[in-house]
């Protein structure tokens, strides 16, 4: 493992980015903070294995004394965590331990209860499993045997494979328990050992933040009460508990956008990345996302050609893929240009404002690509 950030620094001109759209992006984010939309933000922009921009705005904490955010600040990823969890599954497919077409119950026999015996990993990973509202209790954060028991007890809400509905917590809890079943290790350790550390991102991406690093975490705010406890940060829930810097996620998506390779590290084969980053659900409407066809891959989702899309930018290339965090953030890669981008904030803003600002943010980056 190395804690040295893997992308060499460059500049926007050398990486063939137009300056004006990114100046507009800078002004937009500053206006959001001035308006009180969020306290702090981070962005990072990379291309062809080099970091062109890494910038932090505002405050990491505002209660009990303000703490300014810095490029070292870790922001809660929310559902951006999902791609990190799924990427650990991908490593197990690449080493022959798993197949996407395996039944979950082959590895978690008790999962077959309540009519779930035929559900495949592919169905779970594309949000077609049929149990979108499955969840676990807080007691499972430190007791993964209990987590496994509660995951296996999920109830079907509709016939698997018959519709598309975002499984906001359930799908990745299942994936985490499969990871533990086949490796005999905590899923958080598997993500770190198989994905994060080989990429040189051990200081920038965490699913389960160790106590020694928790002082770097930004607090997260929302209209309702948010959990900023040490227990939550350490739990690293597989659906939404990761923390990272924007530069860390921009580097991770550089790897994804370049066919599984980052510098000299070949983490995945190009064919694996091509498979997991293509739309597996066609134009099927996602019932949890207001009927938008989300073009679900096996981890990220894909821009495609639809008029309506979430987070990846209206003017984005159809091959652009990524994932967001509820009301707060998005990261994506555009393989056609070699660009990756991450935008993180520390306030959960509801729609319609949230989706509208994401489209503006992404479009400004796309507009800067020469």
With beta carbons less than 8 A apart as the criterion, state whether 123 and 136 touch. no
Model confidence at 4, pLDDT cuts 50, 70, 90, reads confident
CA distances to 94, 199, 361 from 243, rounded to whole Å, are 26, 16, 21
Torsion-angle region of 243 (φ positive above 0: left; ψ -120 to 50: alpha; else: beta): beta
Average pLDDT over residues 6-32: 98
Question: Which single residue is written with the structure tokens 């510098």?
Answer: 263
Nearest to 44 by CA among 217, 241, 245: 245
Strand partners, 164: 286
Fold of 19-81+206-367: Beta-lactamase (3.40.710)
Count Cβ atoms below 10 Å from residue 224 Cβ, excluding itself.
6
Average pLDDT over residues 232-248: 98
Residue 232 CA to residue 219 CA, distance in Å, equals 12
The per-residue pLDDT for 3 is 62
Model confidence at 1, pLDDT cuts 50, 70, 90, reads very low
pLDDT digits (tens, 9 = 90+) for 41-88: 999 999 999 999 999 999 999 999 999 999 999 999 999 999 999 999
With beta carbons less than 8 A apart as the criterion, state whether 359 and 316 touch. no
pLDDT at 145 over 70: yes
Model confidence at 2, pLDDT cuts 50, 70, 90, reads very low
What is the CATH number that goes with domain 85-187?
1.20.58
Rg (CA), the chain: 19
Percentage of the chain lying above the pLDDT 70 cut: 99
Domain boundaries defined on the chain: 19-81+206-367, 85-187
pLDDT at 284 over 80: yes
pLDDT digits (tens, 9 = 90+) for 154-197: 999 999 999 999 999 999 999 999 999 999 999 999 999 999 99
Mean pLDDT for all residues in the chain: 97
Average pLDDT over residues 109-136: 98
pLDDT digits (tens, 9 = 90+) for 258-271: 999 999 999 999 99
């Amino acid at each position: 493992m190395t804690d040295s950030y893997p992308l060499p620094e460059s500049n926007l001109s050398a990486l063939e980015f137009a300056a004006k759209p990114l100046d507009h992006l800078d002004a937009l984010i500053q206006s959001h903070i001035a308006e009180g939309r969020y306290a702090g933000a981070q962005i990072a922009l990379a291309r062809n294995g080099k970091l062109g921009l890494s910038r932090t705005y505002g405050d990491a904490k505002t209660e009990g004394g303000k703490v300014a955010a810095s490029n070292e600040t870790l922001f809660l990823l929310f559902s951006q965590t999902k791609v990190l969890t799924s990427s650990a599954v991908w490593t197990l497919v690449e080493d022959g331990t798993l197949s996407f077409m395996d039944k979950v119950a082959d590895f978690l026999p008790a999962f077959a209860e309540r009519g779930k015996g035929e559900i495949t990993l592919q169905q779970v990973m594309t949000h077609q499993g049929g149990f979108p509202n499955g969840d676990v209790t807080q007691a499972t954060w430190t007791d993964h045997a209990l987590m496994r028991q509660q995951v296996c007890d999920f109830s079907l809400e509709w016939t698997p494979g018959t519709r598309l509905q975002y499984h906001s917590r359930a799908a990745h809890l299942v994936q985490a328990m499969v990871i533990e079943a086949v490796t005999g290790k905590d899923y958080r350790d598997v993500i770190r050992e198989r994905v994060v550390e080989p990429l040189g991102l051990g200081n920038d991406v965490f699913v389960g933040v160790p106590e020694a690093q928790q002082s770097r975490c930004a607090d997260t705010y929302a209209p309702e009460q948010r959990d900023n406890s040490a227990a939550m940060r350490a739990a690293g829930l597989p659906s939404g508990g990761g923390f990272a810097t924007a530069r860390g996620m921009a580097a991770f998506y550089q790897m994804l956008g370049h066919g599984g390779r980052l510098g000299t590290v070949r983490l995945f084969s190009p064919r694996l990345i091509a498979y997991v980053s293509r739309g597996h659900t066609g134009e099927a409407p996602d019932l949890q996302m207001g009927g938008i066809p989300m073009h679900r891959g096996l981890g990220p989702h894909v821009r495609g050609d639809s008029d309506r899309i979430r987070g990846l930018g209206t003017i984005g290339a159809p091959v652009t893929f990524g994932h967001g965090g509820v009301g707060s953030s998005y990261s994506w890669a555009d393989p056609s240009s070699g660009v990756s981008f991450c935008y993180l904030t520390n306030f959960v803003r509801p729609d319609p404002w949230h989706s509208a600002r994401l489209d503006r943010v992404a479009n400004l980056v796309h507009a800067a690509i020469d």
